Amino acid sequence: MAVSLRGRDFISLHDFSTEEIWQFLETARMLKLRQKAGLEDRPLVGKTLGMIFTKPSTRTRVSFEVAMVQLGGYPLFLSSQELQLRRGETIADTAQVLSRYLDGIMIRTFAHQDVLELAEAASIPVINGLTDLLHPTQVLGDLLTILEKKGRLEGLKLAYVGDGNNMAHALLHGGAKVGMHVSIASPEGYKPQPEIVAEAQADAQKTGARLEVLTDPAEAVRDADIVYTDVWASMGQEAEKESRVPIFQPYQVNSALMARAKPDAIFMHCLPARRGYDTTDEVLDGPQSVVIDEAENRLHAHKAILALLLG
């Protein structure tokens, strides 16, 4: 039975039950089907969403803004240069004031603690659009894409190759919640945080998912249904970009690595990709790539989040 998610924060997929994750996915699927059929759903007429960005964005900004408009609401873009936060106002003060003006806040920023503090002080839902620790809204769209392409989630194997970053963390959370096997391959010193792995393992025990953290990309990708990667240096790590190249070069997702996965494996990337580094043109633009479908599904996943939390 569906439960009400109205008023909840969306900080981490670990915070939701398996049933609640499926509620987001089924809502996203329904909203997408109805949009493709030319039907409108406008449950958020009169509602406003403040969107705080301290990290630049293409997909997150456009998808949340369009999602809010399509649902009948009003999105308000708030850059870090326009808020009093940059002049020293506390996150708590900002959260309390915005709670009097808005119906929800989406924030894309660096420090995960900032999102936690914002959610603690706000009396309206706070959505984590990305932090250095987690990227849960992306993974909800990823799960929707996998469901569309494979017809199921439980029992599939997803191999993530690259930096054990916010994407690796969120994929561990999401995979564990839906019974998907997740194999992470990262260089020594760049593996996912043990605390995140422990959270995911606790969920995996309930769903039967298998999780592993390796250093060998070939082993991680073996018999995978989905091969996933991300850039080797995320925003805020630009100074490390070139020094990371020799470390991560063996983790490039190219045709040779894809050949170790199942013949019908799909390739995913949260984008933007650094072509010729984390992946090759041959893979990114190849027949196994679903990255554009994946990017589109951010819109439908975000619509589901907004409709269920703010509706």
Which residues are identified as catalytic? 108, 135, 138, 230, 270, 298
Q: How far apart, in whole angstroms, are the C-alpha atoms of residue 156 and residue 117?
A: 36
The answer to whether the beta carbons of residues 61 and 76 sit under 8 Å apart is no
The answer to whether the beta carbons of residues 10 and 127 sit under 8 Å apart is yes
Question: E strand or H helix at 266, and its extent?
Answer: strand 266-269
Of 147, 120, 118, 143, residue with least CA distance to 51: 118
Instruction: Report residue 29 as tokens.
Output: 């699927």
The answer to whether the beta carbons of residues 132 and 235 sit under 8 Å apart is no
Q: 3-state SS of the chain: helix, strand, coil percent to 5?
A: 50, 15, 35
